[in-house]
């Protein structure tokens, strides 16, 4: 007999393309799915306003409304920005640093997100924590690497005395594969939903509509999203 906790998942849901695809992935697999979003002073705070339309649209697909549970939001205030301003939490120019990392890298961000998510999952009786981390076609963030996620899973399980599973369905696929996965999960309606309502642009631009969605079209997030769309469509 399946333990009820094995049927539940918490999705780290930012309002972006990757997290929207992960939400669909979770809804296709688990009987109960909840979401969590974080406000941390991000420059592209507009992504937070995309979460509700995406959840609403997702619930209408495949009768997923029966599986989609509560949404949680965590206001982290200026904490991350206060520790050290980056191009993702300030108006600083997006460049490459001397360490070879994009200036959009927010140290500790995903580690904190996963810790907060695990605390929520602990209280909500959810075993699986789903995130859109990927090291195949990404910006080079060290907290998106598979080794980091495996280490966090071990630390969280030891520290909370639970057997959490950190699921990263996008870890080994590129952005073209992410579009393909969305299509496999929900067909063209899901792809259209993600194009129209998700947000990836680091500058928070939603005034220009491209075939792949809204954004400035030049920042690293837009470049990855556009390149993946082009490869998938070709």
- Whichever domain contains 11, its CATH number is 3.40.50.620
Least Cα distance to 11 among 2, 20, 110, 3 occurs for 20
pLDDT for 33 beyond 80: yes
| pLDDT of amino acid 97 | 53
| pLDDT of amino acid 86 | 55
Percent of the chain with pLDDT over 70: 82
In a domain, residue 218? The reply is no
Burial of 147 (0-12, 13-18, 19+ CB in 10 A): exposed
Q: Which of 71-75, 107-111, 165-169, 185-189 has the lowest mean pLDDT?
A: 107-111
How many other C-beta atoms can be found within 10 angstroms of the C-beta atom of residue 85?
Answer: 15
pLDDT tens for each residue of 208-221? 999 999 999 998 88
Least Cα distance to 166 among 2, 22, 46 occurs for 22
In a domain, residue 219? The reply is no
* Spatial distance between the Cα atoms of 51 and 86, rounded to a whole number of angstroms: 24
| pLDDT of amino acid 187 | 97
Q: Which of 50-54, 72-76, 122-126, 134-138 has the lowest mean pLDDT?
A: 134-138
Percent of the chain with pLDDT over 90: 65
- Which three-class secondary structure state does DSSP give residue 194? helix
Residue 209 to residues 3, 78, 196, 203, Cα–Cα distance (Å): 45, 30, 8, 14
How many other C-beta atoms can be found within 10 angstroms of the C-beta atom of residue 198?
Answer: 25
Any idea what the Cα angle at residue 226 is, between residues 26 and 28, rounded to 5°? Answer: 10
* Count of the separate structural domains present in the chain: 1
**Better-predicted residue by pLDDT, 78 or 161:** 161
In a domain, residue 16? The reply is yes
Q: Which of 45-49, 97-101, 120-124 has the lowest mean pLDDT?
A: 97-101
Least Cα distance to 47 among 5, 4, 78, 12 occurs for 12
Buried b / exposed e over 22-55, threshold 16 CB at 10 Å, is bbbbbbebbebbbbbbbebbbbbebbbebbeebb
User: Which is it for strands 209-210 and 8-12: parallel, antiparallel or unpaired?
Assistant: unpaired
For residue 32, what are the domain limits?
Answer: 4-200
| pLDDT of amino acid 95 | 56
Helices 220-233 and 175-197: crossing angle in degrees, nearest 10, is: 110
In a domain, residue 168? The reply is yes
| pLDDT of amino acid 153 | 98
pLDDT for 69 beyond 50: yes
Q: Which of 106-120, 155-169, 188-202 has the lowest mean pLDDT?
A: 106-120
What rounded mean pLDDT belongs to the chain?
87
In a domain, residue 25? The reply is yes
pLDDT for 180 beyond 90: yes
| pLDDT of amino acid 14 | 92
pLDDT for 3 beyond 90: no
């Amino acid at each position: 007999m399946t333990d009820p906790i094995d049927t539940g998942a918490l999705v780290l849901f930012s309002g972006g393309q990757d997290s929207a695809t992960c939400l669909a992935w979770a809804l296709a697999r688990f009987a109960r799915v909840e979401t969590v979003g974080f406000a941390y002073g991000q420059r592209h705070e507009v992504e937070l306003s995309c979460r509700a339309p995406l959840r609403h649209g997702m619930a209408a697909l495949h009768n997923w409304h029966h599986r989609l549970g509560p949404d949680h939001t965590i206001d982290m205030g200026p904490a991350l920005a206060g520790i050290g301003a980056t191009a993702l939490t300030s108006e600083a120019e997006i460049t490459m640093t001397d360490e070879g990392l994009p200036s959009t890298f927010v140290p500790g961000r995903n580690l904190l997100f996963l810790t907060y998510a695990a605390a929520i999952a602990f209280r909500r009786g959810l075993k699986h924590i789903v995130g859109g981390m990927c090291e195949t076609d990404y910006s080079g963030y060290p907290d998106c690497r598979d080794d980091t996620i495996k280490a966090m899973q071990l630390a969280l399980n030891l520290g909370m005395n639970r057997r959490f599973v950190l699921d990263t369905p996008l870890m080994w696929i590129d952005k073209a594969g992410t579009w393909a996965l969305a299509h496999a999960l929900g067909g063209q309606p899901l792809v259209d939903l993600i194009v129209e309502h998700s947000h990836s642009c680091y500058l928070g631009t939603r005034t220009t509509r491209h075939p792949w969605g809204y954004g400035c079209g030049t920042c690293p997030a837009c470049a990855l999203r556009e390149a993946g769309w082009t490869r998938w469509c070709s």
